[in-house]
Amino acid sequence: MAPIQMMKKIVNQILKRLVQPFASLFSKIASEAPIASEEKQSAAKKFRSKHKNPIACPECGKLMKNERGVKQHIAKMHK
Ligand SMILES: [Zn+2]
Protein backbone atom coordinates (compact mmCIF):
# COMPACT_ATOMS: atom_id res chain seq x y z
CA MET A 1 0.00 0.00 0.00
CA ALA A 2 1.27 3.46 -0.84
CA PRO A 3 2.25 5.61 2.18
CA ILE A 4 -0.33 8.26 1.28
CA GLN A 5 -3.14 5.68 1.31
CA MET A 6 -1.92 4.42 4.70
CA MET A 7 -2.01 7.98 6.00
CA LYS A 8 -5.53 8.54 4.64
CA LYS A 9 -6.76 5.35 6.29
CA ILE A 10 -5.27 6.35 9.64
CA VAL A 11 -6.66 9.88 9.39
CA ASN A 12 -10.11 8.49 8.57
CA GLN A 13 -9.99 6.19 11.60
CA ILE A 14 -8.95 9.07 13.87
CA LEU A 15 -11.70 11.30 12.47
CA LYS A 16 -14.33 8.60 13.02
CA ARG A 17 -13.25 8.22 16.64
CA LEU A 18 -13.33 11.99 17.14
CA VAL A 19 -16.73 12.49 15.51
CA GLN A 20 -18.53 9.49 17.05
CA PRO A 21 -19.02 10.94 20.57
CA PHE A 22 -20.31 14.21 19.13
CA ALA A 23 -22.70 12.38 16.80
CA SER A 24 -24.21 10.43 19.69
CA LEU A 25 -24.37 13.60 21.78
CA PHE A 26 -26.24 15.46 19.04
CA SER A 27 -28.70 12.61 18.57
CA LYS A 28 -29.25 12.60 22.34
CA ILE A 29 -29.97 16.34 22.34
CA ALA A 30 -32.29 15.95 19.34
CA SER A 31 -34.23 13.15 21.05
CA GLU A 32 -34.55 15.15 24.26
CA ALA A 33 -35.61 18.40 22.61
CA PRO A 34 -39.32 17.50 22.10
CA ILE A 35 -39.60 16.58 25.82
CA ALA A 36 -38.25 20.01 26.78
CA SER A 37 -40.82 21.76 24.58
CA GLU A 38 -43.60 19.65 26.15
CA GLU A 39 -42.45 20.84 29.57
CA LYS A 40 -42.65 24.42 28.35
CA GLN A 41 -46.17 23.82 27.03
CA SER A 42 -47.39 22.43 30.35
CA ALA A 43 -45.80 25.41 32.11
CA ALA A 44 -47.73 27.72 29.81
CA LYS A 45 -50.93 25.82 30.60
CA LYS A 46 -50.28 26.24 34.33
CA PHE A 47 -49.73 29.96 33.81
CA ARG A 48 -52.96 30.29 31.85
CA SER A 49 -54.93 28.38 34.51
CA LYS A 50 -53.81 30.99 37.06
CA HIS A 51 -56.09 33.49 35.35
CA LYS A 52 -59.33 31.80 36.33
CA ASN A 53 -62.53 32.55 34.51
CA PRO A 54 -61.13 34.47 31.57
CA ILE A 55 -63.83 36.32 29.69
CA ALA A 56 -63.81 36.50 25.93
CA CYS A 57 -64.52 39.73 24.10
CA PRO A 58 -67.84 39.30 22.23
CA GLU A 59 -66.45 41.36 19.33
CA CYS A 60 -63.14 39.62 18.63
CA GLY A 61 -62.93 36.72 21.09
CA LYS A 62 -59.81 38.01 22.83
CA LEU A 63 -59.57 36.71 26.40
CA MET A 64 -59.59 39.21 29.25
CA LYS A 65 -58.82 38.59 32.92
CA ASN A 66 -62.27 39.71 34.06
CA GLU A 67 -65.47 41.49 33.05
CA ARG A 68 -63.99 44.91 33.73
CA GLY A 69 -61.10 44.07 31.43
CA VAL A 70 -63.53 43.17 28.65
CA LYS A 71 -65.45 46.43 29.12
CA GLN A 72 -62.23 48.44 28.99
CA HIS A 73 -61.09 46.46 25.95
CA ILE A 74 -64.40 47.07 24.13
CA ALA A 75 -64.33 50.77 25.01
CA LYS A 76 -60.76 51.05 23.69
CA MET A 77 -60.75 48.69 20.70
CA HIS A 78 -64.36 48.56 19.47
CA LYS A 79 -65.67 52.12 19.67
ZN1 LIG B 1 -62.39 42.70 21.20
Q: How many CB atoms sit inside 10 A of residue 70's CB?
A: 19
Instruction: Sort 49 into a burial class: Cβ within 10 Å, 0-12 / 13-18 / 19+.
Output: exposed
Residue 8: what pLDDT?
93
For ligand 1, the distance from its centroid to the CA atom of residue 72, given in whole angstroms, is 10
Query: How far is ligand 1, taken at its centre, from the CA of residue 46, in Å?
Result: 24
pTM of the model: 0.36
In angstroms, what is the span from residue 57 Cα to ligand 1's centroid? 5
Domain ranges of the chain: 17-77
Segments of the chain scoring below 70 in pLDDT: 1, 33-36, 38-40, 43-52
CA of 40 to the centre of ligand 1 (A): 28
| CA 70 / ligand 1 centre spacing (Å) | 8
Q: What is the C-alpha to C-alpha distance for residues 41 and 35, in angstroms, rounded to an integer?
A: 10
